[in-house]
Amino acid sequence: MQPFIETINIAENLKVVSGFALQKDSELKAMFNYHLGKIKTSGLLEKENLRWLTAPPNENFAATPATVLDYHHLVFPFCVLALGAAAAALSVLTERMAGLCGLEPHDNKRKKGAGGDFEQHYFH
């Protein structure tokens, strides 16, 4: 059974409001209002509002339906998590077994000798 999902058309429900901010009692307020009035009387303000603040008629703002997470969506991530935990446990077990058998990790300290790195890597 699908859950009830309501689709809302954003273009119908969202009113775009724009504004400008000036400091309180700013000396620029009168000049700003004067030039804004000139733009409004020339028709440029309405033209630009129509151009930038209206959506194209073929634009659809409807949301896509939500996906319900089921068992098959969650199996892969948990399998990867379990595989990583198993690999870590195997690594710890291998290191512990090597320690019980008396095997020590390789000594990576550099030895001084005539052969340099060649002696260290091939004759150690």
| Residue 111 sits in the same domain as residue 84 | yes
**Cα–Cα nearest to 52, from 20, 19, 16:** 16
| Residue 60 sits in the same domain as residue 7 | yes
Range of the domain at 56: 1-66
| Residue 62 sits in the same domain as residue 79 | no
Instruction: List, for residues 86-103, the tens digit of each pLDDT value.
Output: 999 999 999 888 877 776
Task: Report, as an integer, the average pLDDT of 35-39.
Answer: 89
| Residue 5 sits in the same domain as residue 45 | yes
State residue 21 phi and psi, 5-degree precision: -115, 130
DSSP conformation class of 108? -
| Residue 7 sits in the same domain as residue 51 | yes
| Residue 46 sits in the same domain as residue 91 | no
Q: What is the mean pLDDT of the chain?
A: 76
Q: What is residue 51's predicted lDDT score, i.e. its pLDDT?
A: 77
Say whether pLDDT at 54 is over 80.
no
Residue 103, helix vs strand vs coil = coil
Instruction: List, for residues 60-73, the tens digit of each pLDDT value.
Output: 777 788 888 888 88
Residue 8, helix vs strand vs coil = coil
Residue 104, helix vs strand vs coil = coil
Say whether pLDDT at 11 is over 60.
yes
Q: How many domains is the chain partitioned into structurally? A: 2
| Residue 13 sits in the same domain as residue 36 | yes
More confident residue, 124 or 54: 54
More confident residue, 112 or 59: 59
